[in-house]
A and B are shown apart, each in its own frame.
Chain A
Amino acid sequence: MELLFTDDQLAFQESVRGFLQKECEPERLRKLWETESGRSPEFWAKLAEMGILGMTAPEEHGGLGMNEVDLVLVLEEIGRAALAAPVAETVAVGVPLLAACGSPALQAEWIPKVVAGEAALSFGHADTPFVHDAHVADLLLLHAGGRTDSDIAVHAVPRGDVTLVHEPGNDPAGRLYRVEWQPSPETRIATGAVAGTALALAFDRAALAAAAQLVGIAQQLVDLAAHYATQREQFGRPIGSFQAIKHMLASVQVRVEFARPVLYRAAWTVAEDTAERMVAVSHAKAAAAEAAILAARTALQVHGAIGYTWEVDLHIWMKRAWALDVAWGTRLWHRARIGRAVLDDSAAPSFGYSARA
C-alpha cells in the first residue's frame, strides 16, 4: 500500500508545469480567443514533442504506454495553466477508447498520427449534449443508440462526415459543438456489451480528466488570490493581513487539499479498472468541482471589483472552472451516483476500513 507518486512522475509534472507556464501566458491565451478555431496547431505540435500526446498510446504505435496515474498530474497542470487544446479529449479519452475498440488497421492509421501531433480526437457520449473541440478533432468517437446491449454502439467518424453546430459558451477558450451525424456500418467499431463497457469507461475517463483539471484550476485560483492579497493595500496595509481574507482562503485550501488524494485514488482505480472505479471517479469529480467553484467565488471576492473585469486574468480560470463543473456530470449527478452505490446497493466499500482480512 502506497499512495505516492514516483520521482519520475513528479519530475515530469515539474517539467510540464514549466513548459506550460511559458506557453500559456495569459496574453497568448487571449489572442487565441480571437481566432476562429481558438486553437494553435504549432502548440499542438509542441505538446507532441513534449511527449504529452503519446502518453496513453500503446508502445507499438509509438506511444509511451502510460496510464491514468501517470497522466493525472499532467492534467492537473493543464488545468493550472488553463491550456486551450483537446488534450483531455485526445489523450485521456480518445486514444484509450480507440485502442480498446478500434480495429488494428484503424489504430495503426490514427494513433501514430496523434502521437506525432498530426491528429486530434474527441468523444461524444449520449449523456452529454456537446462534443468539446469537435472542430479540430480529425476523428470523432461517438456513442450511438441507447443504453442497452441490443442497440448500443461506438462509432469512429471522420470530421468530414459530420455536421457541427457551434454552441458559444461562457468560457472564451471553450469550443463546444452539437454533432449531427448518421451512424453507418462502416464507422461502427464496437457493439453490444463491449461498446457499453467501453463507453462507460470513456465517460469515467472524461470525468476524471475534468476532475484533475479542476484541482489544478482551484489551486491556481487560490494562489492568484493569495498573491493579490499580499499586493493590494487598504486601510494602510495589505488586505491579506485581514483575517476575513485569510480565513476564506484557508477554507478553500482545505477543500483543494482533500480533493487531491481522492483524485489520485480515482486515477488509480481507472488505471487498474477496479470494482470501485465509478464511485471513486464520481467522488473525485464532485470534490474537485466543489473545491474549484468555491475557489472561483472566493478568488473573485478577494479581488473585489478588479476581479469583475474582462481585463484582469482571473476569469480565465473562473470560467474554465464553471465550464468543467457542468461537463461530464454535475456535482449532484456524481453524488447521486455515489448515493446509489453507498445507500441503495449492498454498500460500496470504504477505503481500508472495509478491507477483507
Chain B
Amino acid sequence: MDLTFTPEEDAFRREARGWLEAHVPAKPLPSMDTAEGFAAHRAWERTLNDGRWAMVSWPEAYGGRGVNLIEWLIFEEEYFRAGAPGRVNQNGIFLLGPTLMDYGTDAQKARHLPRMAAGEDVWAQGWSEPNAGSDMAAIRATARLDGDHYVLNGQKTWCSRAVFADWIFCIFRTDPESQRHRGLTFILVPLDAEGVKVRPIAQLDGETGFAEVFFDDVHVPVENRLGDEGAGWRVAMATAGFERGLMLRSPARFQSTAARLVALYKDEAEQADPALRDAVVRAWMDAEAYCLNTYRTVSRLMSGGSIGAEASLNKIFWSELDVHMHETALSLLEARGQLLPHAPDAGNVGRWLDGYLFSLAGPIYAGTNEIQRNVIAERLLGLPKA
C-alpha cells in the first residue's frame, strides 16, 4: 500500500491541469439535451480529442494516451476540478468503447474507436423496451439474418441522447425461437439508416433527454454485429459491468459535488439548521469513501484482478450518495430550493435543482437498485433465487 502519487503521476496531473485550465470553456455550455447544447458539447469533445485528452486510458492508436487506470482517475479528478462540460458521448466512450476493446474485431475497433474519441460519432444505448426494463431478457425487437445483412424490427425506449446521436448500440433477438437470455445479439446501428425513427421524450425537466427508437425493416451489414450471434447477453453484461462498476461515474464527480455542498454550507452556516451540518459531513465522507473504493478497485484491476458482482455495490453507493447530497443542498437552500435557474432570485442555485432531478434517475438507470440488491444477495451473499 502506498497512498502517495508517484512523480510520474504528479507530472501527468500537472499536464492535464495545465491543458484543462487553458481549454475549458469559461462559461457553462447550454444543456446537451438541446440542439444548440448538443452541438457545443460535440465541439468540446473534438477539442479534447485534438489535445488527446478524450479517452486517456485508450491505446494511442485509437486516440488515447495508453495511460493506466490510476492516471485515468487523475485525469477525471482534474476534469471535474476544472468544471469541464459533461461528456455527451458517455455511452460511447465509457460503455461501448471498453466493450469494443474486449469483443470487437480489429476492423470494428479501427472503424469506431477513433471516431468515438473524436466525438464524430456520438452513441446512444438501445437496450430497454416498453416491456423489457429490469427484465431485459424479455427483449422482443428482432434481427433477422438475410444474406450479409441483418434486418431489424421493433422498438427501443429511454435511449439517452438518442435525439441528436449518430449511432446506437442495441440488443436484438436473432433467434425467434429463443427464450430469455439466449438468442440475443449485440448490434451497432447508424441512427440515420433507412427505417429508423427517433421520437424524442421529454424528461422530468421538460427537455428531451431521451427518446424512443423504432426500427422498421432496417438493414445493417453483418459486420455491425459485436461478438457472436447469440452472445448478446454476455457482451451486454460486460458493458453493464463497466457502467456500474467503474467507468460511468468516476469518484471526482461526487467529490466535486461534495465540495460544492461544503461551500454552500459555509455560505449558509449562520442560518442553517444545525442538523444539516451532520448531513453535509456524511455526504463528504461518502464521497471520500467512494473515491477510496475506486482506487482500491483500480489497484486490484491493475494487478490482474477483475470486477464481478461488486459492481452492484458500487452502483447502489454512488446513486444513493448523489441523491443524499442534492437533498441536503436543497434543504440548505430552504424556500429557494424550488427555483429554476432563470428565476430572478435563483443566483447559482438552480444547478442544485437540476442535479437533484438527475440524481433521482440514478437509482433507476444502469439497472435499478432493487435489481442490484438482488444481485448482491444472490451472487455475493449466496441467498437462494426466489
Contacts and interface: CB of A to CB of B under 8 A. Distances in A.
A246 B316 CA distance: 14
Interface in A241-279: 241-243, 245-247, 249-251, 253-254, 257-262, 264-265, 268-269
A258 B382 CA distance: 20
A357 interface: yes
Interface stretch (B236-244, B335-343, B373-381): B373-381
Interface stretch (A111-119, A130-138, A185-193, A222-230): A222-230
Contacts of A265: 3, 292
A104 interface: no
A253 B380 contact: yes
A264 B77 contact: no
B376 A254 contact: yes
B13 interface: yes
Given A250-B381, A357-B17, A1 B3 contact: yes
B278 A335 contact: yes
A335 B281 contact: yes
A4 B300 contact: yes
Contacts of A339: 277-278, 280-281
A353 B281 contact: no
A178 to B, nearest CB: 31
A5 B381 CA distance: 23
Contacts of A2: 1-3, 70, 299, 302
B287 A5 contact: no
Contacts of A350: 255, 258-259, 284, 287-288, 291
A257 B294 CA distance: 12
B290 A229 contact: no
A226 B382 CA distance: 7
A146 to B, nearest CB: 28
Nearest to A342: B284
A167 to B, nearest CB: 30
A305 to B, nearest CB: 21
Nearest to B320: A254
Nearest to B284: A342
B147 interface: no
Contacts of B317: 254, 258
Contact of A230 (B74, B285, B382): B382
Interface in B249-286: 251-252, 255-256, 258-259, 262, 265-266, 269, 277-278, 280-282, 284-286
B119 to A, nearest CB: 26
Given A283-B285, A353-B80, A249 B313 contact: no
B262 A347 contact: yes
Contacts of A246: 373-374, 376-378, 381, 383
A214 to B, nearest CB: 15
A294 interface: no
B251 A352 contact: yes
B262 A250 contact: no
Contacts of B296: 3-4, 260-261, 264
Contacts of B247: none
A332 B281 CA distance: 11
A287 interface: yes
Given A250-B381, A253-B381, A342-B262, A351 B70 contact: no
A247 B373 contact: yes
Interface residues on B, range: 35 or more
B365 interface: no
Contacts of B310: 257
A339 B176 CA distance: 59
Contact of B289 (A226, A261, A343): A261
Contacts of B302: 2
A74 to B, nearest CB: 15
Interface in A316-357: 332, 335-336, 338-339, 342-343, 347, 350-353, 355, 357
A277 to B, nearest CB: 12
Nearest to B78: A357
Given A246-B377, A253-B313, A355 B13 contact: yes
Contacts of B282: 335
A232 B13 CA distance: 54
Most central of B1, B252, B293, B381 by chain A CB within 10 Å: B1
Contacts of A242: 386
B303 interface: yes
A268 to B, nearest CB: 5
A253 B300 contact: no
A240 interface: yes
A18 interface: no
Nearest to A352: B77
B73 interface: yes
A69 interface: yes
A238 B384 contact: yes
Given A230-B382, A357-B17, A287 B285 contact: yes
Given A261-B295, A352-B291, A1 B4 contact: yes
A286 B284 CA distance: 13
A279 to B, nearest CB: 9
A265 B277 CA distance: 24
A67 to B, nearest CB: 10
Contacts of B10: 355, 357
Contacts of B373: 246-247, 250-251
Contacts of A223: 381
Contacts of A5: 1
Contacts of A222: 381
Given A241-B383, A351-B295, A3 B3 contact: yes
B370 interface: yes
A262 B262 contact: no
27 contacts: A1-B4, A1-B299, A2-B3, A2-B302, A3-B292, A69-B1, A226-B382, A230-B382, A230-B383, A241-B383, A246-B376, A246-B377, A250-B374, A251-B373, A258-B317, A261-B292, A262-B289, A264-B292, A283-B285, A335-B281, A335-B285, A350-B284, A350-B291, A351-B3, A351-B295, A352-B73, A353-B259
Interface of A: 1-5, 69, 222-223, 226, 229-230, 237-238, 240-243, 245-247, 249-251, 253-254, 257-262, 264-265, 268-269, 283, 286-287, 332, 335-336, 338-339, 342-343, 347, 350-353, 355, 357
- In the A-B complex, the 8 residue pairs with the smallest Cβ-Cβ separation, listed nearest first, are A246-B377, A261-B292, A250-B373, A240-B383, A250-B376, A353-B255, A4-B299, A226-B381
Given A249-B377, A352-B255, A355-B13, 7 more contacts: A69-B1, A230-B384, A243-B370, A245-B377, A261-B293, A343-B262, A353-B291
